[in-house]
C-alpha cells in the first residue's frame, strides 16, 4: 500500500502548467476569468491564488506515456494540456448538469458566475484543447486529436447514460460498466497513450498503454463511486452519500441490486423507487448497499481492473523508470481517499 | 433583388443530409432523440417528421467551395456535415444561455428536454463534428479540422462577448464588430473555404474563399440584427424586438448610440440603462434606434460587406458555375426575411 503521493504528479504539474497557462491566456478575458477561478489560479474576485486544482492524473499519464516509449516528456506536453482542458470542460458542464454547487471545497463556476458562463467556458476549453493539438501541421498531432475527440465522444455518451439512469429503476451491471467506461475509461485510455502517439511510437506500444489507461479508468471510477457514498466529506469536498442522494446508478448500488432477492435488496429497491430521499433514507440506503455486498464487490472490481491495467504493460519493452511510475500512479489512483 | 431561394440550398440539403443522418446515428439513443428533434427530423414524441430545420447556408457554402476550385462536391461532404454539427451545437447552447424558449416556431431543446440535456447534446455534436473530419487519416482532413476548431474558438469568444455586453452600457462600434465577426464571421469563413481545403486547393484560392465567407458572415449577422428588431415574428419565429428586450448590444443599437449627442440618443441611452424594459419602452427603443439612423447604418453595413464578399472572389480562377452560385447565395443571405 502506497501512502505518499507519486512524485510524477508534482513533476507533471510543473512541466505542464506553463503551457496550460499559455493556452488559457489565448482566451478573451471574459472567458479567462472563470477558467482561472475553476483551475484554482484565482479566487472569486480574480486575485491570483494557488490552491491546487485537481490531482492532475491525466497530464501525468500523458507525460509518462511518452517517456515509456523512450521519448522526452516535452513531446507529450501539448497532449497533457489538451487532456487537462477536456477534463475541465467536462467538469464545468457536469457541475451544471448534476446541480453540484461545490467542487474542491469552493463554489462551482455555475454557482458563482451563472449557468451561461459555465456552459460557454466549458465550450471554450474543449475547442482550445483541439487547437493546441492541431496547430502544428503534423500527422502525430492529428492522430492525437483524433484519439482525443473519439474519447471525448465516449465520455459525453457516458455522461448522457449516467443522466438517463438517474430516472430509471433498473440498470444492469453491463449497462453500468458501459456507462463508467465511457465516462472515465475512454479519456484515461487517451491520456495514457497520447504521449506515445505524439512520439510516433509503434502501434502495439500505443495499444498496450491505451489498454492500461482503459482499465485504470474503470478502477478510478469504481473508487470514485466508493468515495461518492463512503468518502469523508472533509476530504472529498462533496456532501456525504452524495451519489445516493442524486439517485446515481453507480457500481455499489448496481452490484447490490444484482444480488439475488432478499429482504435487504427489496428494501433497497423500494427506497430507490422513491422520488426524493430523506437524510435518514439516504443513510439507510448506504447501509443496505453495504449489507448487500455492493461495497465489497466494487472494491474487488477496482482491484481486478488495477491488475488488468498493470498486466497490459507486462511483456512490452517500456522504459523501466516510466514503467515503474505508471505502476505507482495506478496504485495511487486506487488507494486515494479523495 | 433575388426573391427566390437559391437552388444550391436544396441541392446541398439532399447531398449532405444522408451523411449528416449517418453521423447522428452514431450517437447513443439518449443523445440521438434531442438531436432528431432539434434538427426537425422528429417531433416532441420522437415520431419522424420533416419540417425543415435551418436554411442550410453553411453546408451549401461548403459544397460550393469545393466546386469553385474544380473539385466534386462530394469531397466537401464531411466538411458540410461538420459545419452543420458545430452550428447546431452553438444553437443548442446559445438557446440555454439566452433563455430562448422558441426556435423555428417550436420549443427549444432545453425548454422541452431540460438544460442538462441541451448542454450534453450540444457537446456531443461538437465532438462528432471533429470525429467526422479526423477519422480519415489524411492531411486535408486535419487541416479542415484545424480551421474548424480555430473558427469555433472565435465563435465561442464572440458569444462570450455578446453575453458580457448585455450587462454593459457602453459598447463601441469596434467592439460590436469584433463580437459579430467572432459570433458569425469566423464560422462562415470556415464554411466557405472548407471544401477547397478538403480538395487540397492552393492557398490563394482558399484564402479568397475565406475572405468571402468572413464578409458574408458580417453581412449575415447585420441582417440577423435587423430581423432581431424589425423582423416579422411570424416569419422569424422570434418575438418582436427580441434583441432589444434582451439588451443585446447589436449593430443597430450601437450605430444609433455612436451618433453625436441629441435628445433621441439621450433618451435611448437612458432606456438602455434600465434593468428591464416594459413592452412600451421596447417599442420606443426600436423607434429611437431607427430615428438615430441605427437601422439605415446597419443596412448599409450589410451592403458594404456583401460587396466586399463578392469582391474577394473577383480576379481568381474559380469555376464559373460555382462562382455564380456563391454570388447568388450571398445576395440571398442579405435579402432574406427570416
What are the pLDDT digits (tens) for B299-321? 999 999 999 999 999 999 999 99
CA distance A109 to A44: 9
Q: Does residue B275 register a pLDDT over 90?
A: no
Give Cα separations from B120 to A165, B32, B320 (angstroms).
15, 11, 43
Q: Does residue A238 register a pLDDT over 90?
A: no
B338, B237 Cβ separation under 8 angstroms? yes
CB contact under 8 A, B160 and A120: yes
Other beta carbons less than 10 A from residue A310's beta carbon: 17
A87, A68 Cβ separation under 8 angstroms? no
Number of structural domains (chain B) is 1
Mean pLDDT of the region B108-125: 98
Through-space distance between the first and last CA atoms of chain A, rounded to whole angstroms? 16
- Chain B residues close to A156, C-beta within 8 Å: 31, 120, 123-124, 127
Nearest-CB residue to B130 (from A130, A143, A157) = A130
Give the DSSP H or E segment for A269.
helix A263-273
pLDDT at residue B301 in the model: 98
For residue A11, give the CATH number of its domain. 1.10.600.10
Q: Does residue A53 register a pLDDT over 70?
A: yes
The A-side interface with B (CB below 8 A) comprises: 27-28, 30-31, 93, 96-98, 115-117, 119-124, 126-128, 130-131, 134-135, 137, 139, 141-143, 145-146, 149-150, 152-153, 156-157, 159-161, 163-164
Q: Which domain holds residue A307?
A: 7-335
User: Could you tell me how many residues make up chain B?
Assistant: 338
- Chain B residues close to A85, C-beta within 8 Å: none
Mean pLDDT of the region A187-208: 98
What values do phi and psi take at A42, rounded to 5? Answer: -145, 155
CA distance B171 to B166: 10
B27 CA to chain A: closest CA distance, Å? 7
- Percent of chain A whose pLDDT exceeds 70: 98
A305 CA to chain B: closest CA distance, Å? 25
Q: Does residue A166 register a pLDDT over 80?
A: yes
pLDDT band at B52 (very low <50, low <70, confident <90, very high): low
What values do phi and psi take at A107, rounded to 5? Answer: -60, 145
pLDDT band at A3 (very low <50, low <70, confident <90, very high): low
Least confident of A247-261, A315-329, B183-197: A247-261
Question: How is residue B157 written as a grid cell?
Answer: 469568444
CB contact under 8 A, B120 and A163: yes
Residue B113's closest chain A neighbor by CA?
Answer: A164
Instruction: Collect all residues with Cβ–Cβ distance below 8 Å to B185 and sequence separation of at least 6.
Output: B154, B213, B214, B215, B217, B218, B221
pLDDT at residue B274 in the model: 80
Mean pLDDT of the region B217-245: 86
Angle of helix B7-24 versus helix B115-134 axis, rounded to 10:
100
Nearest-CB residue to A163 (from B93, B116, B150) = B116
Residue B257 lies in a domain: yes
pLDDT at residue B254 in the model: 96
Average pLDDT in chain B: 94
Q: Does residue B13 register a pLDDT over 80?
A: yes
Mean pLDDT of the region B243-253: 90
Higher pLDDT, A137 or A165: A165
Average pLDDT in chain A: 94
Residue with cell 474487488: A300
CB contact under 8 A, B134 and A145: yes
CB contact under 8 A, B130 and A131: no
Residue B323 lies in a domain: yes
Residue A310 lies in a domain: yes
B23, B135 Cβ separation under 8 angstroms? no
Nearest-CB residue to A30 (from B145, B152, B164) = B164
Q: Does residue B1 register a pLDDT over 70?
A: no
Give me the numbers of helices (H) and strands (E) for chain A, helices first please. 17, 2
pLDDT band at B286 (very low <50, low <70, confident <90, very high): very high
pLDDT at residue A61 in the model: 98
pLDDT band at A176 (very low <50, low <70, confident <90, very high): very high
Q: Does residue B51 register a pLDDT over 80?
A: no
CA distance A168 to B67: 50
Residue B1 lies in a domain: no
CA distance B99 to B110: 9
Least confident of A52-56, A64-68, B16-20: A52-56
- Chain B residues close to A93, C-beta within 8 Å: 119-120, 123
CA distance A193 to A213: 8
Note the pLDDT tens digit of each residue in A12-44.
Answer: 999 999 999 999 999 999 999 999 999 999 999
The three state secondary structure string of B226-253 is HHHHHCCHHHHCCCCCHHHHCCCCCHHH
Exposure letters B265-274 (e unless 16+ CB within 10 A, then b): bebbeebbee
A10 CA to chain B: closest CA distance, Å? 30
Residue A97's closest chain B neighbor by CA?
Answer: B116
Angle of helix B279-291 versus helix B203-230 axis, rounded to 10:
130
Residue A2 lies in a domain: no
CB contact under 8 A, B96 and A116: yes
B7 CA to chain A: closest CA distance, Å? 33
pLDDT at residue A273 in the model: 87
- Chain B residues close to A116, C-beta within 8 Å: 96-98, 163
Residue B2 lies in a domain: no
Residue A133's closest chain B neighbor by CA?
Answer: B146
CB contact under 8 A, B153 and A128: yes
pLDDT at residue B241 in the model: 79
Residue B302 lies in a domain: yes
B230 CA to chain A: closest CA distance, Å? 26
Burial of B281 (0-12, 13-18, 19+ CB in 10 A): middle
Mean pLDDT of the region B49-54: 77
Mean pLDDT of the region B227-255: 85
- Percent of chain B whose pLDDT exceeds 70: 98
Q: For residue B175, is it left (φ>0), alpha (ψ between -120 and 50) or beta?
A: alpha
A66, A198 Cβ separation under 8 angstroms? yes
pLDDT at residue B3 in the model: 56
pLDDT at residue A170 in the model: 86
What values do phi and psi take at A5, rounded to 5? Answer: -80, 130
Through-space distance between the first and last CA atoms of chain B, rounded to whole angstroms? 16
Residue B25 lies in a domain: yes
CA distance B152 to B132: 15
Nearest-CB residue to A153 (from B131, B149, B164) = B131
A178 CA to chain B: closest CA distance, Å? 12
- The residue ranges of DSSP E strands in A182-310, in sequence order, are none
Q: Does residue B236 register a pLDDT over 80?
A: no
Question: Are β-strands A106-107 and B102-103 bridged in parallel, bridged antiparallel, or unpaired?
Answer: unpaired
Nearest-CB residue to A97 (from B119, B149, B161) = B119
Mean pLDDT of the region B13-31: 97
Question: Are β-strands B106-107 and B102-103 bridged in parallel, bridged antiparallel, or unpaired?
Answer: antiparallel
CA distance A48 to A50: 7
Q: Does residue B78 register a pLDDT over 80?
A: yes
Higher pLDDT, B235 or B63: B63
Mean pLDDT of the region A95-112: 93
Mean pLDDT of the region A182-189: 98
Question: How is residue A11 written as a grid cell?
Answer: 513533476
Half-sphere exposure of A109 (CA within 13 A, CB side): 31
- Chain B residues close to A124, C-beta within 8 Å: 153, 156-157, 160
Mean pLDDT of the region A183-191: 98
Note the pLDDT tens digit of each residue in B168-220.
Answer: 888 999 999 999 999 999 999 999 999 999 999 999 999 999 999 999 999 99
Mutate to test the interface with A, among B28, B129, B167 (most CBs of A within 10 A): B28
pTM of the model: 0.96
Instruction: Collect all residues with Cβ–Cβ distance below 8 Å to A152 and sequence separation of at least 6.
Output: A86, A126, A186, A187, B127
Amino acid at each position: 500500500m502506497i501512502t505518499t503521493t507519486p512524485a510524477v504528479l508534482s513533476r507533471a504539474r510543473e512541466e505542464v502548467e506553463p503551457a496550460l497557462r499559455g493556452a488559457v491566456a489565448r482566451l478573451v478575458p471574459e472567458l479567462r476569468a472563470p477558467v482561472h477561478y475553476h483551475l484554482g489560479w484565482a479566487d472569486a474576485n480574480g486575485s491570483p491564488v494557488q490552491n491546487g486544482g485537481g490531482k492532475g492524473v491525466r497530464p501525468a499519464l500523458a507525460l509518462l506515456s511518452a517517456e515509456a516509449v523512450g521519448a522526452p516528456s516535452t513531446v507529450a506536453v501539448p497532449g497533457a494540456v489538451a487532456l487537462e482542458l477536456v477534463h475541465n470542460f467536462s467538469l464545468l458542464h457536469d457541475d451544471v448538469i448534476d446541480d453540484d454547487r461545490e467542487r474542491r471545497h469552493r463554489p462551482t463556476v455555475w454557482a458563482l458566475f451563472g449557468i451561461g458562463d459555465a456552459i460557454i467556458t466549458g465550450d471554450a476549453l474543449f475547442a482550445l484543447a483541439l487547437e493546441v493539438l492541431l496547430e502544428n501541421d503534423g500527422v502525430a498531432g492529428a492522430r492525437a486529436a483524433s484519439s482525443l475527440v473519439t474519447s471525448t465522444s465516449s465520455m459525453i455518451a457516458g455522461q448522457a447514460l449516467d443522466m438517463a439512469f438517474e430516472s430509471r429503476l433498473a440498470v444492469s451491471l453491463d449497462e453500468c460498466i458501459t456507462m463508467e467506461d465511457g465516462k472515465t475509461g475512454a479519456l484515461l485510455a487517451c491520456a495514457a497513450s497520447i504521449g506515445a502517439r505524439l512520439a510516433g511510437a509503434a502501434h502495439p506500444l500505443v495499444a498496450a498503454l491505451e489498454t492500461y489507461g482503459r482499465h485504470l479508468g474503470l478502477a478510478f471510477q469504481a473508487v470514485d463511486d466508493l468515495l461518492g457514498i463512503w468518502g469523508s466529506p472533509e476530504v472529498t469536498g462533496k456532501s456525504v452519500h452524495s451519489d445516493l442522494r442524486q439517485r446515481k446508478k453507480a457500481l455499489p448500488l448496481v452490484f447490490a441490486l444484482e444480488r439475488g432477492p432478499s429482504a435487504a435488496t427489496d428494501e433497497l429497491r423500494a427506497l430507490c423507487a422513491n422520488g426524493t430521499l430523506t437524510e435518514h433514507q439516504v443513510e439507510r440506503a448506504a447501509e443496505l448497499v453495504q449489507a448487500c455486498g455492493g461495497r465489497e464487490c466494487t472494491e474487488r472490481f477496482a482491484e481486478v481492473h488495477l491488475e488488468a491495467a498493470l498486466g497490459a504493460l507486462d511483456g512490452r519493452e517500456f522504459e523501466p523508470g516510466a514503467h515503474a511510475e505508471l505502476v505507482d500512479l495506478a496504485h495511487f489512483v486506487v488507494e486515494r481517499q479523495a
